[in-house]
Structure 1
Amino acid sequence: MIKTTLKFSLLALSAGILAACGPQKTEEVTDDLAIVEDVKTPTLTLLWETPETLITNESVLFDAATGTIYVANIDGDPVGKDGKGSISIIGKDGSIVNQNWITGLNAPKGMGIANGMLYVTDIDELVEIDIATAKINKKYKVDGAQFLNDTDTYDGKVYFTDMNTGKVHLLDGGVVSTISEGNESINGIAVSSDGTIYGLDASGMKQWNADGTTTILNSTVTGGDGLVILGDGNFIASRWQGEIWFATAEGETLMLDTKAAESNTADIGYNAADQVIYVPTFFKNKVAAYKLDY
């Protein structure tokens, strides 16, 4: 947990008595009162919820460039190629702007935007959608893929994970490659403004180093789903079961626990300008928006 540090200091009191023949001098006494360094506990406050029409919504993506909020709806078996999956667009007030912006997908999950395209993982394919025309432009088949999940983009490149195989893949220049393996149950992925990759897997929240190795930053928030980089070493991580954590390398704070309500917290989205987190609730079929205060 984020802890409040108490610092106490006391300057010793002293007095000296000079020789009897001389004047008496009393040294100045200084009291250094207890200084309390108050560290604020991060909180989430519910703002709104959408109507319950976003069937099995797994992921939310906020596009800072346009203010558009995309929602990926599985609407069926998470690994079933049934064509029921879709992408919806919702408003900042929780309204449904376009329920069926893109249809005909199978089990869409993580999303990312690069070069005017929305990229969506769909079981064993990475789907490229032209945002301007709202049409599927291309599908990239990923060899050996089983459960493609989260997605992020950086410098025109698309990074995405496969939870079943433990791999991190990269789409660069139209070519898919594997850049990391052996990441048990890897799901959430996020790339910082300097190109550093962060992820959530069974070991916790981790960082990829320049040599390809990884460093565990937080071993408490394991099996995470969505990952948001706040900056200054602060992150938001969701766990599908119904938890949202404020996490750092020094500790973590559980900000939201909806397990009792059986409301999931899947691949979250984030509006940095307004500090709003968008939470896909999966089986509850709605997105909930929370104001982040930290």
Structure 2
Amino acid sequence: MNRFLPLALGLTLLPGFAAAAPRVIPGFATPESVLIDGDRRYVSNIGTTLDPLAKDGDGFISSLGADGTLIDRHAFPADGTTLDAPKGMAITGGRLYVADIDRVIGFDIATGIRGFEASLPAGGPSLANDLAATGDGALLLSDTLRGAVYRLDPATRGWTLLTDAIPGANGIVYDAATRAALVAGLGADFSGGDLYTLPEGGPARRVEGGPHGILDGLARLPDGRLLVSDWIALSPPTPGRLLLLRPDGTDPTPLDLGIPILGPADFGAAADGTLWIPATLGDAVVVAPPS
């Protein structure tokens, strides 16, 4: 790693990250999200151009092994159906669910067959962005354009609006122990947002002392700390960053990933600390190993 790169990007080297050189896996089509499930990594691809609202049928989900080997570039859909601009994903009940503009699609993991679809409630344009499984079979979904978070019951296809007060709602994680979600926002006009906590039955509240930026992916590490990605700027494209947070979402500290990443979106964190980060504007996935 170029020892001057962290200084050029304004990053700080923290223990536990980027001691080894990151690996870049090319060959994707505007990758937006990485979901880790055991020894598999699933990557959602928006398509040939960065158009998160285009209903063009050119989206797909790739499957990789834990070592980064490409298993199937077009793993889903595998049944002749189409995806438009797939983004965040979650797994529950043997299905891989994905947010796709104004709907949630579910695929049987074993067969690749599409067995579920639920359109978002009416109410104007939507941008279904990220998904989180609650552990009881339900899903939480963020809608960026509506600034909303919904609860979806796949058994009934019923929606419950939990909040519409998170400008640019994006990345979401759920804590079954506290029955609360954390939601990263990128702002109503996509120029900068904040981190919010969303307790069950309560209003969304901005985390005081939390990060501010064009926030995207959000993940909780095994030690309880949080990571959130920040695009920093959309125009002109600017190398983004990942911010390490305390368990309560405060005290953001940049990580040195050892490589500039254009468009760090909805990343995945493996149990061993390895980060799988979609470089959306680079058509690649960056694998940053722990020290």
Same fold, judged at TM 0.5 (above): yes
Question: CA distance change for structure 1 residues 98 and 208 in 2, over 3 Å: closer, same or farther?
Answer: same
Q: Residues of 1 paired with 2:260 and 2:241: CA distance?
A: 11
Residue in 2 that maps onto 1:170: 151
Residues 150-202 of structure 1 show CA distances to partners (whole Å, capped at 9, x for unaligned) of 11101211111011110101111331221111110110100023132111114
Gaps of 5+ in 2: 1-13, 188-192, 233-239
Are 1:115 and 2:93 counterparts? Answer: yes
Residues 124-150 of structure 1 show CA distances to partners (whole Å, capped at 9, x for unaligned) of 010111111111112111123511101
Q: Residues of 2 paired with 1:238 and 1:90: CA distance?
A: 22
Q: Residues of 1 paired with 2:224 and 2:69: CA distance?
A: 33
Residues 4-57 of structure 1 show CA distances to partners (whole Å, capped at 9, x for unaligned) of xxxxxxxxxxxxxxxxxxxxxxxxxxxxxxxxxxxx65533444221x211100
Residue in 2 that maps onto 1:270: 269
In 1, are the aligned partners of 2:221 and 2:269 still within 8 Å (CA)? Answer: no
Please state how far the C-alpha of 1:118 moved relative to its aligned partner. Answer: 0.7
Please state how far the C-alpha of 1:102 moved relative to its aligned partner. Answer: 1.2
In 1, are the aligned partners of 2:241 and 2:261 still within 8 Å (CA)? Answer: no
Q: Residues of 2 paired with 1:55 and 1:205: CA distance?
A: 28
In 2, are the aligned partners of 1:55 and 1:283 still within 8 Å (CA)? Answer: no
Are 1:200 and 2:198 counterparts? Answer: no
Task: Indicate the structure with greater strand content.
Answer: 1
Give the structure-2-normalised TM-score. 0.79
Q: Which segments of structure 1 move beyond 4 Å, counting only runs of 4 or more?
A: none
Are 1:251 and 2:251 counterparts? Answer: yes
Q: Residues of 1 paired with 2:260 and 2:88: CA distance?
A: 24
Gaps of 5+ in 1: 1-39
Are 1:221 and 2:212 counterparts? Answer: yes
Pick from 190, 199, 216 the counterpart of residue 209 of structure 1.
Answer: 199
Please state how far the C-alpha of 1:278 moved relative to its aligned partner. Answer: 0.4
- RMSD (CA atoms): 2.1
In 2, are the aligned partners of 1:208 and 1:215 still within 8 Å (CA)? Answer: yes
Residue in 2 that maps onto 1:36: none
